[in-house]
Chain A
Amino acid sequence: MTIDRLLEGLRQRDPRAIGRAISLVENGDESAEIILSSLDENLVSRATILGITGPPGAGKSTLTNEIIAKLRHQEERIGIIAIDPSSPISGGAILGDRIRMMQHATDKDVVMRSMATRGRLGGLCATAGAAVRIMASCGCSTIIIETVGVGQSEMDIIRLADITLLVMAPGLGDEIQAMKAGLLEVADILVVNKADCKGADILAMDLEAVTRKGSATPTQVCMTVATEGKGVTELLDRIDKLDSEHRDSGERQKRRRGAHNQEVLDWCLEILRPQLLDKIIKRKLSVLGDPRLKAKKILEEK
């Protein structure tokens, strides 16, 4: 596909062009710059970016599937970026989030993309951010980023979101697990999924207790049974309410700016990494001595 045809395809919101464009950005292709500067910034700034995170098996994909169904009812065009880990050994990945969302596979207004972390320290934030922009520019008014919230890079991605949901389920560990993970701090809304299962009420109480401490505005807890679609309407109402509060208070803008800075930093590192590695290799450094000092020296030289 030539770049002109690709740009035309993006204007037409052609799924093939959207898929291709995201790949090119993800693969660090030179055409990424042309693609990303051709986007409709207006649509990008209007879209709502929803982050959905939580431990494996909590029901994130199933909940996402239900959210899509409800939003499609309101005729919204939706983008989904589902992130799964790459194997640090082989570099491969199984991207399995689609399994729970196949009912929307042939819906032209549901644009979905699975993304592997590819073991990059930062880069993922830059690529996921670019995918968000491409989807928003192609008319997606809500974009969902779904990720297992464990590693640092996943946490960084969640910063791209305007509103973040943390999905938990009973039976995945006690409230100490939640405190450990550090996830509670990034979440705007806590969701206890599988609310029909034993221990859901206790989990909700525990979460409320953990988040209430020292905070004037305790994080809200929502109960859902994603497999049956229960509680999802109420959840969406809360998201809407919070989103408009954030828009009014300037919180949304603040977060967008933070996310943007993070993305720029990510791109800086992406660009610098190979250059620096090249410099380091050329120096044929001895294995003795302080690596930190050597790093400083390399950075200081013009």
Chain B
Amino acid sequence: MTEKIKKNRVLVGKPGLDGHDRGAKFIAQALRDAGFEVVYTGIRRSPEEIAAAAVQEDVDAVGLSSLSGAHMRLFPAVVEALAKAGAPDIPVLGGGVIPEEDIVELKAAGIVEIFTPGTPIDTIISAYRDACEKKSTG
């Protein structure tokens, strides 16, 4: 028997043309410090690029950041792209400057969790942990 070492793997990236990556980098580092393996894909990615990377990297969850207001289009587009890439089971979480009324709609579109500015980092980390564990048992 070899040692079993399951690590939570997540992808953090920014879809669309928004170049403000401070939030995404902050989340990536916080997750790293919490013991996650974080595949960071950087800014200006298409939903298809994010989905393809998530599949190849076999991540347990995908985290998206948007500060430009395009979240209503881009977040669901990543969910769709994942389904198209044969990975509908990879949960998508999102964060950024997102109005309250959009959150309901985004969750209806399949985004597991949305974080707005001011969310304590521990809340975010535990949401990612839950998403990862749910995925690997499910």
Question: Which residues of A have CB within 8 Å of B40?
Answer: 94-96, 98-99
B32 touches A90 (CB 8 A): yes
Question: Quick one: closest A residue to B8, CB to CB?
Answer: A92
CA distance A260 to B57 in the complex (A): 25
Q: Does B42 contact A (CB under 8 A)?
A: yes
**Which of A19, A96, A118 has a CB less than 8 Å from the CB of B56?**
A19
A: contact size bracket:
35 or more
Question: Which residues of A have CB within 8 Å of B46?
Answer: 106
Q: Does A91 contact B (CB under 8 A)?
A: yes
A-binding segment of B47-55, B101-109, B110-118: B47-55
A98 touches B28 (CB 8 A): no
Question: Which residues of B have CB within 8 Å of A92?
Answer: 31-38
B32 touches A270 (CB 8 A): no
Question: Which residues of B have CB within 8 Å of A26?
Answer: 5
Question: Quick one: closest B residue to A82, CB to CB?
Answer: B39
Question: Which residues of B have CB within 8 Å of A86?
Answer: 37
Given contacts A28-B5, A105-B49, A118-B7, contact A90 B33 (CB under 8 A): yes
Q: Does B87 contact A (CB under 8 A)?
A: yes
A113 touches B35 (CB 8 A): no
B: contact size bracket:
35 or more
CA distance A32 to B4 in the complex (A): 11
Question: Quick one: closest B residue to A29, CB to CB?
Answer: B4
Main secondary structure on B side of the interface with A: mixed
Given contacts A105-B52, A105-B53, contact A28 B3 (CB under 8 A): yes
B-binding segment of A10-18, A143-151, A233-241: A10-18
B35 touches A91 (CB 8 A): yes
B35 touches A19 (CB 8 A): no
Given contacts A92-B35, A95-B40, contact A16 B55 (CB under 8 A): yes
Question: Quick one: closest A residue to B90, CB to CB?
Answer: A16
Q: Does B86 contact A (CB under 8 A)?
A: yes
Question: Which residues of B have CB within 8 Å of A273?
Answer: 3
Question: Which residues of A have CB within 8 Å of B39?
Answer: 95, 98, 114
**In the complex, number of A-B residue pairs with CB atoms less than 8 Å apart:** 108
Given contacts A94-B32, A270-B2, contact A15 B52 (CB under 8 A): yes
Q: Does A20 contact B (CB under 8 A)?
A: yes
Task: List B residues 1-44 near A (Cβ within 8 Å).
Answer: 1-7, 9, 28-29, 31-42
Q: Which of B2, B45, B48, B57 has the most CB of A within 10 A?
A: B2
Q: Does A23 contact B (CB under 8 A)?
A: yes
CA distance A29 to B4 in the complex (A): 6
CA distance A89 to B36 in the complex (A): 12
CA distance A27 to B58 in the complex (A): 12
Question: Which residues of B have CB within 8 Å of A118?
Answer: 5, 7
Given contacts A18-B56, A23-B58, A98-B39, contact A87 B32 (CB under 8 A): yes
B48 touches A99 (CB 8 A): no
Q: Does B72 contact A (CB under 8 A)?
A: no
Task: List A residues 46-95 near B (Cβ within 8 Å).
Answer: 86-87, 90-95
Q: Does A102 contact B (CB under 8 A)?
A: yes
**Which of A105, A106, A114, A271 has a CB less than 8 Å from the CB of B2?**
A271
**Which of B2, B41, B48, B56 has a CB less than 8 Å from the CB of A274?**
B2
Given contacts A16-B87, A23-B58, A111-B56, contact A274 B37 (CB under 8 A): no
Q: Does B121 contact A (CB under 8 A)?
A: no
B5 touches A114 (CB 8 A): no
CB distance from A262 to the nearest CB of B (A): 17
Q: Does A22 contact B (CB under 8 A)?
A: yes
Question: Which residues of A have CB within 8 Å of B33?
Answer: 87, 90, 92
Closest A-B pairs by Cβ, 6 of them: A19-B58, A92-B32, A105-B49, A99-B42, A28-B2, A23-B58
Pick 16 A–B contacts, CB within 8 A, sort by A. Answer: A14-B86, A16-B85, A19-B56, A19-B57, A23-B58, A90-B33, A92-B38, A94-B28, A94-B38, A94-B40, A95-B38, A96-B42, A98-B42, A99-B41, A112-B53, A118-B7
If A94-B38, A105-B52 are given as contacts, then 11 extra A-B residue pairs at C-beta distance below 8 Å, sorted by A number, are A16-B87, A18-B56, A22-B58, A27-B6, A94-B28, A98-B39, A98-B53, A99-B40, A106-B49, A116-B7, A274-B1
